[in-house]
Amino acid sequence: MSKFEIKVGNSKIKLNKHFIEKQDAMDNLDDLKSCYRQKLEIYNSIIVDNDPKQFKEFARLLTNLENEIQELFNFEPNVNFHRFWETPKCECPKLDNEDCHGVGIKYINPKCKFHGEEDE
Ligand SMILES: [Zn+2]
């Protein structure tokens, strides 16, 4: 396993070495890997957990992690660049969000247990 890979259960992420170099973030590699490991662990928890009450908390933790990852890549934390729709079981429209990524427009399915409205 390369030092840029993170594996949790059956999920695996490989970080982009060239991107890390471009962002001058190689000193943060261990912290980045720790953040991505936590992200995969949360994804795995979501897959096995069917308690919707937990989902808002998972969404909050993922947002915090995304901000931390951006900082470790030497970016300003910016929620407009979070790929929140990639969360397992997220019901927000993926293609629309993909198209508008980074411009500050979010397509939220009100029924999404992570990003939709608070409990009715
Ligand atoms: Zn969602």
Cβ neighbours, 10 Å, residue 96: 13
Query: Ligand 1 mean position to 59 CA, how many Å?
Result: 9
Q: What is the pLDDT of residues 62-102, one digit of tens each?
A: 999 999 999 999 999 999 999 999 999 999 999 999 999 88
Per-residue CA distances from 115 to 17, 28, 102 (Å): 31, 30, 17
User: Domain map of the chain by residue range?
Assistant: 14-82
Q: Ligand 1 centre and the CA of 86: distance in Å?
A: 8
Q: Determine the distance separating the centroid of ligand 1 and the alpha carbon of 92, expressed in angstroms.
A: 4
Confidence of residue 119 (pLDDT cuts 50, 70, 90): low
